[in-house]
Structure 1
Amino acid sequence: MAGRAGQQLVFLFDENMPARLAHALRGLGERCVHVGDPGIGLNNTPDEAVLAYAGERGWIYVGRDHRILHRPHERAVLKQWEMGAFFLNQSLNKSLCSITTALFRNWPEMKRVAASQPRPSLYLIRETSVRALPRRRLGNEDEHGRRQQG
């Protein structure tokens, strides 16, 4: 499935996501990488740098950390690179089984929206569905957290 301008979709799993899950999807032929994979080496890297790494490559971010949406400097990276990002619903953060079940159940929809929806875009992965988050979650602040006009 192609993303922007025919580019293949690649999903980057943050270190707060199970590496085994990204590897399992890759074993099934999906284009998934984990921040800790050889050649990536982004373990223990600030979220802002992980997001920039994915954004520079046109990759889709997958993670658990909703706090990214509350940090102006991290939201700015999502906007700057016009990224697609998926965040696990907090109720799924309980076990590897619930995370795996939700991700596999929603994978076809995640690929569809990542390939077809304009970016920047934010999505919440729920137990049985993927829900778009309002673009206003990206905020309208500058890098210092001040509200911009317009």
Structure 2
Amino acid sequence: MKVFFDNCTSPTLASTLHGFISHEGHSAVHIRDVQGLPKGRSSADVEWLDFLRRSNDAWIFISGDGRVLKNPAERAALRSAGLHGFILAPAYQKHPLHQVASIILWRWPEIVQVAKLLAPPSMHEVPINKTARLRPLPL
């Protein structure tokens, strides 16, 4: 499985998660490091969603921007891409980067479980509270 981090997240999160999951055969990459995107890091959400959809790899994405669910074109792209998406709760913006990274690592087994058990597309919010469960979001 490959994990895509969009522009609303720090590249540090992708490299941290990659270091943690690479021994399991997974990888994580930030949008700035993805080759083949139409406009590179400046690609719109619908463009990178289409890129991931056309890929032969199994992708999930992590975003810090819940507004992707409010734009009709982006919602349609999310549904047609057939991906599992994980949106960081707004509270993440108020926490230092090292704490955000630690919570994503803490949540990794739960994220993998959701991706294995549910048929895509699916969207979940990742709460900041370590004891709270991932919250399903409507697509």
Q: Secondary structure at the match of 1:17?
A: coil
1:55, CA displacement in angstroms?
A: 2.3
RMSD over aligned Cα atoms: 1.7
Match of 1:53 among 51, 54, 57: 51
Give the conservation status (yes or no) of the 8 Å contact 2:127–2:135: no
> Secondary structure of the residue that 2:120 maps to in structure 1?
coil
**Structure whose residues are more often helix by fraction:** 2
| 1:93 aligned counterpart, secondary structure | helix
Report the equivalent of 1:31: 27
Indicate conservation of the 8 Å contact 1:121/1:132, yes or no.
no
How many Å separate the matches in 2 of 1:106 and 1:38?
24
Unpaired runs of at least 5, structure 2: none
What is the CA–CA distance in structure 2 between the aligned matches of 1:38 and 1:54, rounded to whole Å?
10
Measured against aligned partners, the alpha-carbon deviations of 1:112-145 in whole angstroms (never above 9, x if no partner) come to: 11122111100111121442424xx22xxxxxxx
- Given that residues 62 and 86 in structure 2 are in contact (C-alpha distance below 8 angstroms), is that contact kept between their aligned partners in structure 1? yes
State the alpha-carbon separation in 2 of the partners of residues 86 and 55 from structure 1. 16
Aligned to 1:80: 80
TM-score of the aligned structures, taking structure 1 as reference length? 0.77
Q: Contact 1:88 / 1:126 at 8 angstroms: preserved in 2?
A: yes
Matched-pair contact (CA < 8 Å) for 2:83–2:120: yes
Query: Would the alpha carbon gap of residues 40 and 62 (structure 1) be closer, same or farther in structure 2, given more than 3 Å must change?
Result: farther
* TM-score of the two chains, using structure 2 as the length reference: 0.82
Once the two structures are overlaid, the 10-residue window that deviates more, 33-42 or 118-127, is 33-42
Deviation at 1:47, TM superposition (A): 1.1
Partners of 2:76 and 2:60 in 1: CA distance: 16
**Contact kept? 1:51, 1:61, Cα under 8 Å:** no
Structure-1 residue corresponding to 2:93:
93
Deviation at 1:98, TM superposition (A): 3.1
Name the CA distance, whole Å, in 1 between partners of 2:48 and 2:108: 22
Mark the structure with the bigger radius of gyration: 1
Whether contact under 8 Å (2:16, 2:101) holds in the other structure is no
The percent identity for this pair of structures is 26
Contact 1:14/1:35 (<8 A) preserved: yes
